[in-house]
Chain A
């Protein structure tokens, strides 16, 4: 089954404790992306990756890191989480070519930073 998986689905942590949210896709997509969803703000792009070892900042990259060492995986790293990073996070992947272009989203990770 074609899917994007994220882990963990729920996470409660404390300020400053490093964490990683994993994302994996099984569709051989070149493009992967991380978003955060906050009430009234919709989705905002954090980082995206065009392919292995190619990443770039989205609109709200501050406080986040990513890496793309393998095509299928795109982990999101919070080196020193703060309460303003409490949010719902989505990973997505896609081909980037005309008819095949559409993003598939993971189920989301709900993060609470105390």
Chain B
């Protein structure tokens, strides 16, 4: 079965410190990987994606993520956190090909709290 795991329900970090939000996946086939952010009472907003090529991808608001095929991970990172980064973050995967082609799978979400 296809799945996406975000092992931490919540991540707490002080403003100015680096942050990491973890994501691992289990899919049969090659994945497209995404990160989305959700602010309170809002829809999801796209942050970044890995389709192919360079394993380190850069996205909106200074976020980046590294695709690690051997560890099946796609952790979200930012060198210096801002209070305004506090939100709910979702990792998602779409499988390229196979029976579940074009289905999206989301993780359960990680709440990021950045304290001043």
B42 cross-chain contacts in A, Cβ below 8 A: 107-108
A77 close to chain B: CB less than 8 A: no
B12 close to chain A: CB less than 8 A: no
Q: Which of B49, B92, B103, B108 contacts A41 (CB 8 A)?
A: B108
Q: A105-B44, A108-B43 are in contact. Are A42 and B102 (CB under 8 A)?
A: no
Q: A90-B43, A102-B46 are in contact. Are A42 and B107 (CB under 8 A)?
A: yes
In the complex, the answer to whether A42 meets B106 with C-beta atoms within 8 Å is: yes
Interface size range on B against A: 20 to 34
Q: For the complex formed, measure the closest distance between the CB of B10 and the CB atoms of chain A, giving whole angstroms.
A: 12
CB 8 Å contact bits of A69-111 with B (1 = contact, 0 = none)? 0000000000000000000001010001011011111111000
A105 cross-chain contacts in B, Cβ below 8 A: 36, 43-45
Which residues of B line the A interface, CB within 8 A?
4, 6, 32, 34, 36, 42-46, 49, 51-52, 90, 92, 102-109
Provide a sorted-by-A list of 21 A–B residue pairs whose CB atoms are within 8 angstroms.
A31-B102, A33-B104, A35-B104, A40-B108, A42-B4, A42-B108, A42-B109, A45-B104, A45-B106, A48-B102, A59-B105, A90-B43, A92-B44, A99-B51, A102-B34, A103-B104, A105-B43, A105-B44, A107-B42, A107-B43, A108-B43
